[in-house]
Chain A
Amino acid sequence: MSEVQVRGLTVEYQTSAGWLPAVAEASLDLRAGEITGLVGESGSGKSTLALSLLNAVPAPGRIAGGTIDVAGVGDLTRLTGKQLRKARGGSIGYVFQASQNSLNPLKTIGKQLLDLGRSHEVADLRALIARALDLANRMGLDGQRVLDSYQHELSGGMRQRIGIVFALVLNAKVLILDEPTTALDMLSQASVLEIVRKVHDENQLSTLIITHDIGAISEIADRLAVMYGGRIVEDGPLLEVLRRPTHPYTKALIGATARITGDVEAARALPGRPPDLTTVARVGCVFRDRCPFAVAVCAEAEPPLAAWEGERRRACHVEPTTVLAGTPAAVGEPA
């Protein structure tokens, strides 16, 4: 059962070169009770995809096609005005990138919580506060103290947790976290990830975590989707994708992660640089310039995201066995 179904989503930005797609024909399911990790480099369109799940792509961007079906709400791309405002926060909780900087410095956390309640026309504000206290306490915060604090009195990890409280206090069943651990040190990162997993399990959420750090996500996610140049290039159950990556990009990304175990010499940085809106290939595979497995057909036709081996999908012309067998030395430049 899927809580959120994204089908053929295309999001475009207006540039001097015309409307260019930041997300092209993306299809993704967020299943009930599962944490999905969406991984990609800067400029891969992952944040744009996440924002479009709120139908909140900022101008000069627009959702040019596709549907986003949210359980109990319907197609989010067709909602406007008050209905859309209700869905944001009410059905989908969103923890913004650098959410620790998205709090109002002039108001206590509690007052901002009341603002949230009023804008969603919550009748019983006392119950809202009680629920926020309960959530905060379950995340290891001192609820009373936190609600009476200003944001500068809290540490980065605490502010990130407040962001999660705000996202869930209206009983949203879908939780989206955009780069939740980027500005945190290792100890706070570990505790925030642990809390996300705990809150997710306790409330039976459908969670989407967006990150560029495949290492951080692998600890808690159930499914993994890899994004490159606005396309989802591979997805599937996390353990299977990590153990046997069948897209050259996924494989290179895993090999480029600094790890505490394993051979230092074997790790390799990705060659080249990630494409942006203007440099991404219009014809053929978007990854072919950096791909060690590229063949002639990659320059001519874009590979479709096709099902492979059970629940997995991949978008690549090269045979999965060839990618799997490729030695790490064939991927990337020497580190």
Chain B
Amino acid sequence: MIEARGITRTYQTHGAFTGARTVHALRGVDFTLPDGGAVSFIGESGCGKTTLGKILTGLETFDGGELVVDGVELSKLKPHQRAKYFRRIQMIHQDPYSALNPTRTIASILGDPLRMRAREKGGTGKEAGAWRERAAELLTLVGLEPEAVLPKYPHQLSGGQRQRVVIARALTVDPEVLIADEAVSMIDVSMRLGILALLRDLRARLGISLVFITHDVATARYVGDGGELHVIYRGEVIERGLTDEVILEPVHPYTQCLLSAVPIMRGLEEPGPDRTAPTMALDERAATPGCLFQPRCPFAQERCVEQHPVLVPFGADAGSDEVAGAGASCEHLHACFYPTARRVVGVEVGAASA
């Protein structure tokens, strides 16, 4: 079980002409990932999703808050003590074309971590030699033919097959959590569902929990039951709840803009009646003492300029001091002073119009 408590990450930039500037990549992100559970993060480019993924895998540090794995606070540990926790959290990278070393065969890509893992487990030499069987087992698990794939180089495989190899490689060290950062965005649309089904299958069969980071809301629906969806904007979670609940009944204007941007399959779907869009492009330099989304929000009012809303359940006032982050984890929360349900998602043609 992983618990993040108010994770923040701030970068200092030193522009040659523009002067130093502080970039808030993450402004206090809370979430809980139960064993075998799934948490999805959606947001546009530059909202801090990838930074979060890197922090969870130990590739990036955080400067505030706490990351707790199985009750152990990681920031109190020394780096070598931390390593064994991060071994259990593995990343599936975005681009399967650059995530695999082009000069090594699949056998050697999978072999090294498998031998390392066998030594770490303190097995005998015999176990280390069994890596080929284990590699074949993993490739079968991810839906590839071991005999055909093992001797090949990455360029001999298609994008979907490469992504499966990347997933198999992540599984070599027996992880408990997989972080999928835009794991399907570089893959042909026709192959995406296969990869998503594989991730869902790994959850069901191996009990691996999943952190799914994406800009494509539709794919977040396919990672399995009980998934929680966090909508992240400029490093802050502004709406969260069960995936289907947030998609079907979004109340934050930013979530509604994101969902409105999902293309409609004309002929099969009709656009939602309340489709909306941000009033302008993101300008990170603009000062936003109030709501971060206020300059772009089509529904912003005076209060949004002055006061910063916090996550609260529907019906409560987002200006209250009570921090709702500690509430029940699956509750539908939002950070907006004027939450309004709007029907922005496309409707299937022929489905009841309600």
Query: What residues make up the interface of A, taking CB atoms closer than 8 Å to B?
Result: 41-43, 155-157, 185-191, 193, 212-216, 218-219, 238-240, 242-243, 252-254, 256-262, 264, 267-270, 273-274, 333-335
A156, closest chain B residue (CB): B45
List B contacts of A42 (CB < 8 A): 158-159, 188
> Which stretch, B80-88, B217-225, B287-295, touches the partner chain A?
B217-225
> Is residue B130 within 8 Å, beta carbon to beta carbon, of the partner chain?
no
Residues facing A in B264-318 (CB within 8 A) are 264-269, 277-278, 281
Query: Beyond A242-B268, A258-B218, is A215–B196 a contact (Cβ under 8 Å)?
Result: no
Taking a contact as CB atoms under 8 Å apart, the answer to whether B218 and A270 are in contact is: no
Taking a contact as CB atoms under 8 Å apart, the answer to whether A268 and B281 are in contact is: no
Query: Beyond A238-B266, A335-B196, is A41–B190 a contact (Cβ under 8 Å)?
Result: yes
Residues facing A in B1-55 (CB within 8 A) are 44-45
> Is residue B249 within 8 Å, beta carbon to beta carbon, of the partner chain?
no
Residues facing A in B309-354 (CB within 8 A) are 345-348, 351
Query: Beyond A218-B266, A269-B192, is A190–B197 a contact (Cβ under 8 Å)?
Result: no
List B contacts of A214 (CB < 8 A): 189, 265
List A contacts of B257 (CB < 8 A): 187
> Which one of A187, A193, A243, A267 contacts B193 once the chains associate, using CB atoms below 8 Å?
A267
Taking a contact as CB atoms under 8 Å apart, the answer to whether B258 and A269 are in contact is: no
> Is residue B241 within 8 Å, beta carbon to beta carbon, of the partner chain?
no
> Which one of A156, A193, A260 contacts B221 once the chains associate, using CB atoms below 8 Å?
A260
Alpha-carbon gap, A264 to B277, bound state (A): 26
Query: Beyond A185-B215, A187-B257, A187-B258, is A258–B196 a contact (Cβ under 8 Å)?
Result: yes
Taking a contact as CB atoms under 8 Å apart, the answer to whether B44 and A239 are in contact is: no
Interface CB pairs A-B, < 8 A, 25 = A41-B191, A42-B158, A155-B281, A185-B45, A186-B216, A186-B258, A186-B261, A188-B45, A189-B261, A191-B277, A215-B263, A218-B267, A219-B266, A238-B266, A242-B266, A243-B267, A256-B192, A258-B192, A258-B222, A259-B218, A260-B259, A269-B197, A333-B194, A335-B197, A335-B222
List B contacts of A264 (CB < 8 A): 221-222
Shortest Cβ gap from A148 to chain B (Å)? 14
Alpha-carbon gap, A156 to B260, bound state (A): 20
List B contacts of A269 (CB < 8 A): 190-194, 197
Shortest Cβ gap from A199 to chain B (Å)? 18
Given pairs A212-B189, A261-B351, 16 additional interface contacts (CB within 8 A) = A187-B257, A188-B44, A218-B264, A242-B266, A242-B268, A243-B267, A258-B196, A260-B345, A261-B346, A262-B348, A264-B222, A269-B190, A269-B192, A333-B194, A334-B197, A335-B193
Alpha-carbon gap, A41 to B160, bound state (A): 11
Interface-central residue, A187, A214, A243, by most chain B CB under 10 Å: A187
How many interface residues does chain B have, given as a range? Answer: 35 or more
Residues facing A in B213-240 (CB within 8 A) are 215-219, 221-222
Query: Beyond A185-B215, A264-B221, is A273–B161 a contact (Cβ under 8 Å)?
Result: yes
Query: Beyond A41-B188, A335-B193, A335-B194, is A267–B222 a contact (Cβ under 8 Å)?
Result: yes
Query: What residues make up the interface of B, taking CB atoms closer than 8 Å to A?
Result: 44-45, 158-161, 188-194, 196-197, 215-219, 221-222, 247, 257-269, 277-278, 281, 345-348, 351
B197, closest chain A residue (CB): A335
Alpha-carbon gap, A256 to B261, bound state (A): 20
Taking a contact as CB atoms under 8 Å apart, the answer to whether B188 and A260 are in contact is: no
Taking a contact as CB atoms under 8 Å apart, the answer to whether B158 and A274 are in contact is: yes
List B contacts of A243 (CB < 8 A): 267-268
B271, closest chain A residue (CB): A219
Shortest Cβ gap from A42 to chain B (Å)? 5
Shortest Cβ gap from A215 to chain B (Å)? 5
A211, closest chain B residue (CB): B189
Interface-central residue, A186, A191, A252, A274, by most chain B CB under 10 Å: A186
> Which one of A238, A242, A253, A260 contacts B262 once the chains associate, using CB atoms below 8 Å?
A260
Shortest Cβ gap from A123 to chain B (Å)? 35
> Which one of B44, B160, B268 contacts A187 once the chains associate, using CB atoms below 8 Å?
B44
Interface-central residue, A242, A243, A257, A334, by most chain B CB under 10 Å: A257
> Which one of B191, B215, B259, B263 contacts A216 once the chains associate, using CB atoms below 8 Å?
B263
Alpha-carbon gap, A192 to B24, bound state (A): 27
Taking a contact as CB atoms under 8 Å apart, the answer to whether B190 and A256 are in contact is: yes
List A contacts of B194 (CB < 8 A): 269-270, 333, 335
Taking a contact as CB atoms under 8 Å apart, the answer to whether A238 and B267 are in contact is: yes
Alpha-carbon gap, A212 to B186, bound state (A): 11
Shortest Cβ gap from A78 to chain B (Å)? 35
Taking a contact as CB atoms under 8 Å apart, the answer to whether A261 and B347 are in contact is: yes
Shortest Cβ gap from A62 to chain B (Å)? 24
Taking a contact as CB atoms under 8 Å apart, the answer to whether B267 and A186 are in contact is: no
Alpha-carbon gap, A179 to B84, bound state (A): 42
Shortest Cβ gap from A44 to chain B (Å)? 10
